[in-house]
Amino acid sequence: MTKPMLGFLLTLLTLAAEKDLAVLHAAQISANANNQQAAEKDKSSTADSTVNDETSAGADREELPPLKPLPAPLNKLLSSGVPLNPEQTVRLDAKNKRVLLHTQIACEDCPLEMFCCTERTKEHESILWLRSRAFVVHSALLALNAKAGEPALFTPVFTQPWGQKIHIFVNWIDKNGKLQRAPAQSWMRHSVSRYYSSPLDKSPEGVTIPHLELRYDPYNKEILWYGPMSDAQRDELLSLCKEPTYQAAIKKFHQDSKTKPMKADFVFAGSYHYVLEDTGEKVYAAEGGYLICVANFAGSLIDITEISSASDGGQSYEAWPEKVPPRDTPVVVELIPSSQMFEKPPLPKQPERPESQPEPQSPSPAGSTSGSENGKAAELNP
């Protein structure tokens, strides 16, 4: 990233906060001109020593493969916005009050923590990836008068994310060459690619285990099923054994494993900044990949308005393979701030302690340090 463009992005934060789109556009034109001149000068110079500092997740941009070329309809859509970063993957379309992102499919069939992450961060658990710094997207939303709330808080009690509602749409070219547009939620479903269990004292009589995806755990005395169960599989399994507990378990597996589309809303949570103790450097937490999240994280720039797990094997959502295009497919994402604001939820009331009962003392272990404010940094630690 050249110094003029970096200067523009820093200016963008101020302009966005002041909500002056006319000045913002003028600054963009000026920055583009300065950046072009600097780029020509850079061609005859050695590699910029600050390259590593300006890449997403430490990746050297000079070594990154080129993005897939956009088909004409997507290129036309993306061209309606003013580019805000050197890669021109984040664009501000002030006229239509939206932010446009040039992304690619990262994973079409995986458990999800993100809907979209920044490049070389969390592609193994995200449908899309974006080649950009996260704060550029944050700044673009501010420029559209979007109001950031707060990401999820985990201490002293869990508080769900809040902020201005953001409509998210995906645009892509299908296998028949037609332009498609759909809500981001339509590409995700509640996780069904997991084990379901139910208590059962002994292996069911008349059923040879394993059978289909049915298993029995004699140590925990549980019957288990993996993944979605079709009507035909349910009927076959029910015909094998008439024992009431077994029958109830099969019916429960069939019901619980039905595909349920995602219905949660997205909000502009806004992430947060923290300071590295050893260097004093101020870091924007969303740069760790927390761009558009579907599991709750303290560093989320955009999150969903419900409790959603990020634990391994227990993720609340997964990609919907039949609906998500193949890997590496170019996708233009629209971020459109809504007029609806999700307000900060009230903190749950703590139970009152009887006066006769003393307050318990919990001395900190030797050498321990207090966590960051609101308990956010702890959520980002490995």
Spatial separation of the C-alpha atoms in residues 305 and 340, rounded to whole Å: 13
- Token reading at 128: 């899309």
Pairing of strands 266-268, 195-199: unpaired
Q: How many CA atoms lie within 13 A of 243 on its CB side?
A: 13
pTM, two decimals, is 0.73
pLDDT by 10s per residue, the chain, length 382:
444 455 455 545 444 444 344 334 434 433 443 454 444 445 444 444 433 444 444 444 458 899 999 999 999 999 999 999 999 999 999 999 999 999 999 999 999 999 999 999 999 999 999 999 999 999 999 999 999 999 988 877 888 899 999 999 999 999 999 999 999 999 999 988 889 999 999 999 999 999 999 999 999 999 999 999 999 999 999 999 999 999 999 999 999 999 999 999 999 999 999 999 999 999 999 999 999 999 999 999 999 988 765 555 556 899 999 999 999 999 999 999 999 999 988 876 665 555 544 444 444 433 333 334 344 433 433 3
Q: Tell me how far apart the alpha carbons of residues 56 and 121 are, in angstroms, rounded to a whole number.
A: 8
Q: Where are the domains of the chain?
A: 1-54, 69-190+262-342, 195-256
Q: Considering only CA atoms, which of 159, 255, 221, 40 is closest in space to residue 247?
A: 255
Rounded distance between C-alpha atoms, residue 279 and residue 224, angstroms? 51
Helix (H, G, I), strand (E, B) or coil at 110: coil
In 126-243, which residue ranges form alpha helices assigned H by DSSP?
Answer: 134-143, 231-240
Q: Dihedrals φ, ψ of 154, to 5°? A: -115, -10
**Is-contact 137 156, C-beta < 8 A?**
no
